[in-house]
Amino acid sequence: MSDTREIQEKLEELRRQIRYHDTLYYALDAPQISDAEYDALFRELVREEEAHPEWVTPDSPTQRVGFAPLEKFAPFEHAAPMLSLENAMSEEEVREFDRRVRKLLGHGDKIEYVVEPKMDGLALEILYEKGRLTGAGTRGDGYTGEDVTPNVKTIRAIPWRLQSPPGGAPPPERLAVRGEVYIDKKDFEALNRNREAAGELPFANPRNAAAGSLRQLDSSITASRPLRVFFYGVGAVEGAEFPTHWDLLQTLRAWGLAVNSKSQVCAGIEEAIGFFRRLTDERGDLPYDIDGLVIKVNRMDWQRQLGEKSRSPRWAIAYKFSADLAPSRILDILVQVGRTGAVTPVAVLEPVFVGGVTVQRATLHNEDEIERKDIRIGDRVWVRRAGDVIPEVVEVEVSRRTGDEVPFRMPAQCPSCGGEVVRLPDESVHRCLNRNCPAQIKAAIWHFCSRNGMDIEGLGRKNISLLVDEGLIQSVADLYTLRVEDLEGLPGWGRKSAQNLVDAIAGSKNPELADFIYALGIYHVGSHVAQLLASHLGRFEAVRAATREELERIPGVGEIVAYSITRYFSHPENQKLMDGLLAAGITVKPAQTSSHAAEEEDPFWKSKTVVFTGALASLTRQEAGKRVEARGAKVTESVSKKTDIVVAGKDAGSKRAKAEKLGIPILDEEEFLKRIQ
């Protein structure tokens, strides 16, 4: 045999071995060699191909490094529509799905289902012709996606050639196979560490990282990311038939395509529900993120008989975890001091993605709640974003305790000032009673400067803390005495940044009445109540002088709120603060009173509860909220059955999904703007 033939055969044998071990690792989850041995094989192939570049084949494993960058993605037409799945959020909804399936089939006995973990990734369709990868596209609108073929070819978990298993069915003439691209949790953490070390922003969560990695115009970037895939079905197939969905999954695996090993056949819906319960318990320990379970009728002829609705198949349903619930572990419990002196215990968590964000801290509310839930440092817990905003610990997994968990006790001294921490009669919270506590001062100043208040740019928590610690401010009135020369010598401050802050403070001296009321931080007075006070009383002097009886006559201001307002303005320290602010040059704009406001009330918005979600292009959400409040609406943060309208801007997330589930009307930005013209 010639040397040339020997070298070519050696190259092909190395490629065959690498493809074989890729299949074992990614598709069968049964590696036979170590990572080091695999890397040695790969390096040997690289050396041989570098020595003989004329024999490098396009489908060699070494070619998964990227291709020429694209200017834009071409369209990718799906072989059959990639439909979305109907969602179920409770056991009863899953049982209703089963009843519906049996009724449509005219089948009274148990239906056999296949259940598969629902990956939290990016849907993808890959086209194989005669066993070779020829195209790949994202889901897009379900009919046309983006052609990401060059990127998909860089992913090691996706074979360029399908296998022909011994004694099994060979790859068909044409196969449009569907899967979910994802990134393992450990790989995601390593990816973010590398990005931070390189001075780049970390990804928010594995799903975003996977989606962003696959949709790169430069495929070499995709090649550098640790993408994986699980396949779950086909859009079209020519040259093969499958009596059941389970047969399909096993055949895909035999062809070298990764299928989730957690998938299983269930004899009836109750068995599927039991699997969901077990999966819920195991969710936190899985190496990847899932957001529920997919339940599919197993028999293919029954799938065809059931058919599809306009947007989803009748033979499958996604049984989803609660969108705002996720498992984590309590690393520590700290306390933080708010502007009213409330001392709140806070759990420090192992980072967990829940409700659209990565959460590392969660409120524990108060000592009673900690005792009621028996929360301890070291506990495995379930975390929820209450109202889509504030993370909280919902439940402790007591069964997973090791005995090393540590109970929590509220400190007797304030962690900020060392003052006494007490629990007042009829209150569930502990408080620091020192009115000069630095933590309370900082929190009150931050509230005053916040976007819904005086909206002073450049005064975030870090800068406020610095100014208080340096003794430059002790109250919000002190902000208006700051000079450039006071600031420019501080760590990290120059003359320009100092001048910018002084100018921003000066620019806040003519606030809207509602904004000023909110900024004062009066107990029980949020932005909605502040708007009510402004629209009914009109001038700050009237708000300051109002009696409890006058305040209680305002719709939406009850006895407790009225008492809190009058108590605030009657306190000598607060009177001194008001006088100081006015003397500093603050002139509060008068507001349109209720007699005029009634003329502005719009029947469409009047008495409606409105929630904003996502980003609006034409105005801020705060401005939009004020516009609808002026027309008689109430703006809240969370979606519930009491919500009347949801206004959804760009990248609206869990709030929109919840509104859709509850059947609440949703306005996009264009419709919203028409309604407030």
Type and span of the H or E element at 362 = strand 357-363
The neighbouring-strand residues paired with 393 are 383
- Cα dihedral angle (61, 62, 64, 68), rounded to 10 degrees? -140
First and final C-alpha spacing in the chain: 84
Query: Strands 634-636 and 609-613, how do they pair?
Result: parallel
d(CA 581, CA 576): 9
Q: Is 137 left (phi over 0), alpha (psi -120 to 50) or beta?
A: beta
- Cα dihedral angle (128, 130, 131, 132), rounded to 10 degrees? -60
Q: Is 564 left (phi over 0), alpha (psi -120 to 50) or beta?
A: alpha
Residue 20 amino acid letter: Y
Q: Strands across the sheet with 228-238, in order? A: 132-138, 122-129, 174-182, 228-238
Residue 69 amino acid letter: P
Selected catalytic residue, list 118, 320, 608, 634: 118
DSSP designation for 419: -
d(CA 337, CA 432): 8
Q: 118 an active-site residue?
A: yes
> Sign (positive/negative) of CA torsion 285, 290, 293, 299?
negative
Residue with the two structure tokens 């013209």: 677
In contact, 48 and 14? CB cutoff 8 Å: yes
DSSP designation for 571: S
Q: How many CA atoms lie within 13 A of 646 on its CB side?
A: 28
Active site residues per annotation: 118
